[in-house]
């Protein structure tokens, strides 16, 4: 059993990621990722291969940086008006890691509500963070976002989940 | 007596040929073409109900019992491989009580069984069995076609691409495809083993707009500079070769939409009377294309040349056509083995399916690029397509109201070159949309199927 202190640190880190997205602090959000950190949103349930099967998003820090800059560009048509989101994260469990570990695998459930003009959308599913200690906080090595309807019919997505 | 249940019934449309012609002028189109549900119903009859419509690729139906589910005009259909090796297109409906039979998009079944009263159908739609046969009347015949899943009469393939046609006596598929067979040939020729396979990579996107908006956008090389600037600018500012994942493919693709007048000069648009259009001399200008000689490309070229010779390999790889649009709703890009289908759902809702092929015999790296290409271009989170979709939805939104009912398609009207084998224009012309609408008027005003 992980000490409560460690579990709480991990939870607060995951909550912070969600809050930065809600606040539109996309550059600060990207700073949570390790220099070679990867954000992965598969397009198939149980997808294990990001090279031979297309993903909704499979991007490392360098590509995410372009995505973040686009979020900040006033000209992004799909972001006019800027969507507002609330990312809720719950059911957090540390799947891998001990009190003295440097790396943790953290599972959670998410619910993201997005409002843009008259349009409301809900994204939900489960996610797994691979995080590593970095000073007195963590960095994300990899985040895998499994949307419940990942293989369904979608409208364009804007703000990361 | 041969009237099979569910056959598209002739509907008495209150729209005359004269009225249809009145919606399309040489340089203008009336908003009703996009927003009138009656026009949409007529399109389902006269365009999607009469032309050859792509439904599946044979590589998705390798074994008897394999099937995929898709739409053909207003119908949901199953495309199946039967035990006789043939491909059938069937209405997804039990002839007994009318229940939808198959609830998944793809799979393999020895038989389709209706869960309601357990009628069981073979992959060719024929009725295999009913439970408790003695309770059916003496003249009930399981061999009677009326008790079978209803078949679409016309199904033809061109080199693995399966099309279906709902009309009575359609011209051969090959006639409809015309010179567009070139792009299917080129896609297959790119495979060192001479065969392509539909991959499981695919996306389905729905937008709130008319299907024609998407087809016009795919033939429009004028908009990217404006619509995609929010991804072009950050990509330009980003350092080269920083990604550990994709050899800079994403950054280059995003930047490629930032072309200007200089690149337009090189591009030529072609439009055929059938409504098919494409862009030529496309990659010469550097647009969307990887020009560098990297190890994956070199190995791929070597493998292809080994099979078909250096000279032919150079021709095949050098084929320089982008967004090949087979009227009414299929778009093929051979260079990245990518395909898109626009499936009309209602006058203001369209489903776009984006898929990619694997070139058999090519290095894995070539397929990984095709996968990356469709993610960048067609994923719901695409930094490119999402802005296109936003514009399509804004157009639909604006076209709902009758404020100034005419929209303008005049750009390039004075400079198009109409030759014997179709129209040719520069990149800035709206000729492809005019060509699409000429075909539209022709089909929409043909009363008899």
> Which tens digit of pLDDT belongs to each residue from A111-124?
999 999 889 999 99
Distances (CA, A) of A132 to A96, A101, B242: 12, 9, 22
Instruction: Check if B70 contacts A (Cβ < 8 Å).
Output: no
Instruction: Check if B203 contacts A (Cβ < 8 Å).
Output: yes
B179-444 fold: Naphthalene 1,2-dioxygenase Alpha Subunit; Chain A, domain 1 (3.90.380)
Instruction: Check if B301 contacts A (Cβ < 8 Å).
Output: no
In this structure, what is the dihedral angle of CA atoms A73, A76, A78, A81, given to the nearest 10 degrees? 60
Provide residues of A within 8 Å CB-CB of chain B.
Answer: 36, 38, 41, 43-44, 51-60, 62-63, 65-67, 69-70, 73, 75-79, 152-158
- CA-based radius of gyration for chain B: 23
What is the predicted pLDDT for the residue at B7?
Answer: 43
**Dist. CA B72–CA B123, nearest whole Å:** 18
Residue B385: strand, helix, or coil: helix
What is the predicted pLDDT for the residue at B284?
Answer: 60
Q: Which CATH superfamily groups domain B53-165? A: Rieske [2Fe-2S] iron-sulphur domain (2.102.10.10)
Distances (CA, A) of A112 to A24, A115, B96: 14, 10, 43
Joined tokens for residue B209: 């707009």
Out of B205, B227, B364, closest to residue A77 by CB: B227
Q: What average pLDDT score do residues B258-268 get? A: 80
Q: What is the pLDDT of residues A32-87, one digit of tens each?
A: 999 999 999 999 999 999 999 999 999 999 999 999 999 988 678 888 899 999 99
CB-based contacts of B187: which residues, under 8 Å, 6+ apart?
A: B196, B332, B334, B337, B357
Instruction: Check if B307 contacts A (Cβ < 8 Å).
Output: no
- Shortest distance, CA A57 to any CA of chain B (angstroms): 7
Cβ pair A58:B364 closer than 8 A? no
pLDDT band at B419 (very low <50, low <70, confident <90, very high): confident
- Shortest distance, CA B345 to any CA of chain A (angstroms): 13
What is the predicted pLDDT for the residue at B13?
Answer: 58
Handedness of CA B257, B260, B265, B270 (dihedral sign): positive
What is the predicted pLDDT for the residue at B290?
Answer: 52
Let me know how long chain B is: 449
- Shortest distance, CA A13 to any CA of chain B (angstroms): 25
Instruction: Check if B226 contacts A (Cβ < 8 Å).
Output: no
Out of A56, A66, A155, closest to residue B251 by CB: A66
Residue of B nearest to A44 (CA): B201
Q: Which helix (H) or strand (E) holds B374?
A: helix B364-378
Report the side by side order of strands in the sheet with B120-121.
Answer: B112-113, B120-121, B127-129
Interface of B with A in 254-283 (CB under 8 A): 254
Domain boundaries for CATH 3.90.380.10 within chain B: 179-444
User: Could you tell me which of B2, B402, B409, B396 has the C-alpha nearest to residue B208?
Assistant: B396
**Dist. CA A158–CA B8, nearest whole Å:** 40
Q: Do the Cβ atoms of B342 and B329 come closer than 8 Å?
A: yes
**C-alpha B284: how far from its chain's center?**
25
What is the predicted pLDDT for the residue at B292?
Answer: 58
CB-based contacts of B214: which residues, under 8 Å, 6+ apart?
A: B207, B342, B350, B352, B392
Domain boundaries for CATH 2.102.10.10 within chain B: 53-165
Return the residue matching tokens 């890009």: B333
Cβ pair A54:B201 closer than 8 A? yes
Look at strands A137-147 and A33-42 and give their pairing.
parallel
Q: What is the pLDDT of residues B63-95, one digit of tens each?
A: 999 999 999 999 999 999 999 999 999 999 999
The structure's pTM equals 0.94
Tell me whether residue B260 is exposed, middle or buried, using C-beta atoms within 10 angstroms of its C-beta: 0 to 12, 13 to 18, 19 or more: exposed
Joined tokens for residue B369: 């690029």
Cβ pair B379:A55 closer than 8 A? yes
**First and final C-alpha spacing in chain A:** 29
Out of A59, A69, A152, closest to residue B237 by CB: A69
The ipTM is 0.95
Least confident of A114-118, B258-262, B388-392: B258-262
- B376 has pLDDT over 70: yes
Q: How would DSSP label each residue in B141-172?
A: -TT-GGGSPPBPSEEEEETTEEEEE-SSSPPP
């Amino acid at each position: 059993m992980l000490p409560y202190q460690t579990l709480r640190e991990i939870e607060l880190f995951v909550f912070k990621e969600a809050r930065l997205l809600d606040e539109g602090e996309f550059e600060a959000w990207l700073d949570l990722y390790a220099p070679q950190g990867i954000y992965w949103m598969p397009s198939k349930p149980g997808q294990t291969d990001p090279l031979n099967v297309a993903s909704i998003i499979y991007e490392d820090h360098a590509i995410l940086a372009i995505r973040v800059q686009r979020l900040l560009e006033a000209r992004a048509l799909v972001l006019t008006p800027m969507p507002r989101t609330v990312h809720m994260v719950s059911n957090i469990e540390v799947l891998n890691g001990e009190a003295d570990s440097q790396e943790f695998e953290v599972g959670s459930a998410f619910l993201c509500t997005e409002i843009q003009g008259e349009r409301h959308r809900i994204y939900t599913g489960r996610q797994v963070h691979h995080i590593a200690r970095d000073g007195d906080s963590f960095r994300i090595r990899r985040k895998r976002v499994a949307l419940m309807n990942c293989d369904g019919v979608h409208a364009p997505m804007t703000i990361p989940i | 007596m041969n009237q099979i249940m569910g056959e598209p019934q002739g509907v008495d449309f209150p729209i005359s040929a004269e009225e249809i012609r009145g919606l399309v002028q040489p340089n203008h189109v009336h908003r009703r073409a996009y927003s009138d549900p009656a026009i949409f119903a007529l399109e389902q009859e006269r365009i999607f109900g009469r032309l050859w419509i792509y439904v599946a690729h044979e590589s998705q139906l390798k074994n008897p019992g394999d099937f995929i589910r898709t739409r053909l005009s207003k119908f949901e259909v199953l495309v199946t491989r039967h035990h006789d090796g043939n491909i059938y297109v069937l209405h997804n409906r039990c002839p007994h009580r009318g229940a939808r039979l198959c609830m998944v998009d793809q799979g393999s079944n020895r038989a389709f069984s209706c869960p309601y009263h357990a009628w069981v159908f073979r992959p060719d739609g024929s009725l295999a069995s009913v439970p408790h046969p003695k309770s059916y009347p003496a003249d009930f015949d399981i061999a009677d076609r009326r008790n079978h899943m209803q078949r679409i009469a016309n199904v033809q393939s061109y080199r693995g691409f399966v099309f279906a046609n709902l009309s009575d006596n359609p011209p051969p598929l090959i006639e409809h495809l015309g010179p567009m067979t070139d792009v299917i040939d080129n896609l297959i020729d790119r495979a060192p083993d001479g065969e392509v396979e539909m991959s499981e990579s695919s996306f389905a996107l729905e937008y709130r707009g008319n299907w024609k908006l998407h087809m016009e956008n795919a033939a429009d090389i004028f908009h990217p500079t404006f619509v995609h600037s929010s991804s072009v600018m950050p990509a330009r500012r980003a350092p080269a070769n920083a990604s550990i994942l994709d050899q800079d493919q994403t950054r280059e693709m995003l930047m490629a939409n930032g072309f200007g007048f200089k690149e337009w000069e090189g591009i030529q648009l072609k439009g055929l009377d059938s409504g098919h259009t494409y862009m030529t001399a496309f990659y010469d200008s550097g647009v969307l294309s990887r020009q560098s000689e990297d190890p994956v490309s070199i190995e791929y070229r070597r493998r292809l040349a080994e099979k078909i010779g250096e000279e032919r390999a150079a021709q095949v790889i050098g084929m320089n056509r982008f967004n090949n649009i087979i009227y009414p709703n299929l778009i093929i890009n051979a260079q990245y083995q990518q395909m898109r289908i626009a499936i009309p759902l209602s006058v203001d809702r369209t489903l776009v399916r984006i898929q990619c092929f694997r070139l058999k015999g090519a290095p894995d790296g070539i397929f990984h690029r095709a996968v990356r290409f469709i993610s960048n271009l067609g994923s719901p989170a695409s930094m490119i397509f999402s802005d296109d979709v936003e514009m399509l939805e804004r157009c639909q939104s604006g076209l709902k109201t009758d404020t100034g009912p005419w929209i303008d398609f005049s750009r390039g009207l004075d400079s198009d070159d109409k030759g014997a084998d179709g129209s040719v224009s520069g990149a800035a012309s709206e000729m492809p949309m005019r060509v699409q609408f000429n075909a539209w008027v022709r089909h929409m005003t043909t009363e008899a199927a």
